[in-house]
Chains A and B, each alone.
Chain A
């Protein structure tokens, strides 16, 4: 066995740390947290110029051909540093998907522009009436000559307000079972009929609701066959679930550890309190297990092996353990834990407050933990389908 990510990943780590040191200041970090949109064009274009947006795409399509361990490291370092990286993540997925499942037109017209950082995409699966039941989408696309007209409401379309396009799941047929009548379109955000409204969250992340009224999209913007969009979505969703939040867990525990070793107002180190020590140990174990599960998903992907429920395991464990820890810590550290970063008396740079507000969503988006557990029960334990 070998648990190392390898030399190339180590090089990426150094490269990204250098990039961050040169381009991403403490001020930028705070601004990104304040903004919560998950994307910053200026920073994003710098990453694109250095080849990072297309780093994981196959070389034969003009991608960087970086291996999954290098991409893991790229995301890990950016995320841990508080870099607004959702745009990078989405576009990495979508560029990859378009290369594999798109048309020549997509590969010539969209892919190079994604790679260069000229355009960005948001993910438009969820709707007011369909979240976990992704295939229950009701936004319709109806053919009109060579074009399609799109109508309805999308919900939780994160980064739609900064993106030029939405990678959108739509209903093109109601004749068959729900997941058989879906199609994917690349819908521009700056055309008539698109209205984008901010949705703010407890964690500070900003998302969007998108309403669509007779939005005209050329047939060339369709990805995959008509009514067969489900396989495209499954491919992209799978990529997302295999990740989890081990990077954030590592940052959280490192800050908690450093805080606990400094003497507090009473002159004592929190570390020397057995309750704190035990919680530090628990959080460290959770972070290590999350990291290992994520590395395993990455290894399976790199080896071209079937992930089964292993991707779902990664996200499910990471999401729940991080949430548990954030809540347990809040119960331990007393009232000062409630204070936000930069408030007088805040603990560990607002570490506990931030984690407490942000972790609930980790068990919700990208597939709720309930949905993921059902998947593991079916795929890995062979239990009957449960609903």
Chain B
């Protein structure tokens, strides 16, 4: 057992932390609330190779592991970075597997965030659809020109974004969301069909959720720091409010849940190669738990601020809103927990598969 990062992972963390501290203070996040996307910050990401980190060498990538990608996602969450790191990483890896010659892959590898993904939602969330002809809210749908989607067992690219996407729709998380018409009848390029297509989307969905789990954990970690800093500084009744158990204990409970979320995301990333049977389930767990933890922590940290937490002037509300948004865009925790149950207890629908609890030895 070894739960520490290796030297190259530590360097990766240091590099991105340094860049984000400099380039993405919360003022930068605020300055981009009107678009949800920072082109200049994305350029910095690309400079450090973030756009192609997870791609195979043949596609111009660095062939780094999901754990490496996760570490970057985690730091991005801490900084609330308004960049499409999750979508670019996920779509790029999907294309590299099923359509390595596809032009969209070249664009992503070249640093253009031109493609996003319509995440499948197996438990029918009200008012959304990812099937052909349906309208779907797409993360970074405002800047993408193409969206990868699954319709039945057909994996395709909805092209020609200009004719498909709505204007940016404003959301709680100040994201770069747009409605997309995913109609497959025209301007669609089929990537794969049958089992291969379904498996490829399942995999991409799992990877997005895994990285989102890291990202959400990052949001929670930063929110906790902001909350506990405030609890040490704010004086009421002549003492720091952090000395009141009603303030301290909920924060401590968040610290505990956050450690669990981080370990869970790391375990899932590690399982990609070391425990592949459990990989998908762990990704799903990482997203569900990351969601619950980030939303709860941002809430506790906000309330630690009293009235000031509710004012736009204080940063904690930025975290409160984005934790909710990143979770909901993929359906939210309640939806995801059902997927966890299916993957854990009934992978093949037969009701006979052994449960996946217990971990690798």
Interface set of A (CB-CB < 8 Å, partner B): 1-7, 9-10, 13, 69, 250, 253-254, 257-258, 260-261, 269, 271, 274, 277-282, 284-285, 287-293, 295-296, 298-299, 302, 309-310, 313, 316-317, 320, 370, 373-374, 376-377, 380-387
- Which of B6, B253, B275 contacts A3, CB < 8 Å? B275
**Is residue B338 contacting chain A, with contact meaning CB distance below 8 A?**
yes
User: Chain A CB within 10 Å — which of B252, B275, B288 has the most?
Assistant: B252
Q: List 21 A-B residue pairs with CB atoms under 8 Å apart, sorted by A's residue number.
A: A3-B275, A6-B1, A257-B345, A261-B345, A271-B341, A274-B338, A279-B337, A281-B341, A284-B341, A284-B357, A288-B264, A289-B260, A289-B264, A293-B256, A295-B3, A313-B255, A317-B256, A370-B245, A374-B245, A381-B252, A383-B251
> When chains A and B are docked, how far (Å) is the Cα of A320 from the Cα of B256?
11
**Is residue B98 contacting chain A, with contact meaning CB distance below 8 A?**
no
> When chains A and B are docked, how far (Å) is the Cα of A296 from the Cα of B264?
11
Bitwise, B233-263 to A at CB < 8 A (1) or not (0) is 0000001101111001101110111011101
CB distance from A242 to the nearest CB of B (A): 13
Contacts A1-B5, A3-B359 known; A380 to B252 CB distance under 8 Å? yes
**Is residue B358 contacting chain A, with contact meaning CB distance below 8 A?**
yes
User: In the complex, which residues of chain B have a beta carbon less than 8 angstroms from the beta carbon of A253?
Assistant: 355, 357
> When chains A and B are docked, how far (Å) is the Cα of A211 from the Cα of B341?
50
B255, A376: Cβ atoms closer than 8 Å: yes
A370, B232: Cβ atoms closer than 8 Å: no
- Which of B256, B259, B289, B334 contacts A278, CB < 8 Å? B334
**Is residue B344 contacting chain A, with contact meaning CB distance below 8 A?**
yes
User: Is chain A's interface secondary structure helix, strand, loop, or mixed overall?
Assistant: helix
Q: Chain A: which residue is nearest B271 at the CB level?
A: A3
B340, A9: Cβ atoms closer than 8 Å: no
Shortest 10 CB-CB contacts between residues of A and residues of B? A281-B337, A281-B340, A289-B260, A383-B242, A280-B341, A377-B248, A384-B243, A376-B252, A292-B263, A281-B341
A383, B289: Cβ atoms closer than 8 Å: no
CB distance from A298 to the nearest CB of B (A): 8
Interface residues of B in 313-342 (CB under 8 A from A): 334, 336-342
User: In the complex, which residues of chain A have a beta carbon less than 8 angstroms from the beta carbon of B3?
Assistant: 1, 3, 295-296, 299
Q: Chain A: which residue is nearest B228 at the CB level?
A: A381
B1, A299: Cβ atoms closer than 8 Å: yes
CB distance from A305 to the nearest CB of B (A): 10
> When chains A and B are docked, how far (Å) is the Cα of A6 from the Cα of B266?
18
Q: Chain B: which residue is nearest A280 at the CB level?
A: B341
> Contacts A2-B270, A3-B1 given; 14 further ones with Cβ under 8 A?
A3-B267, A3-B271, A5-B1, A260-B345, A269-B351, A281-B337, A284-B345, A291-B359, A295-B3, A317-B257, A320-B253, A373-B245, A380-B255, A381-B252
A1, B67: Cβ atoms closer than 8 Å: yes
- Which of B245, B334, B355 contacts A254, CB < 8 Å? B355
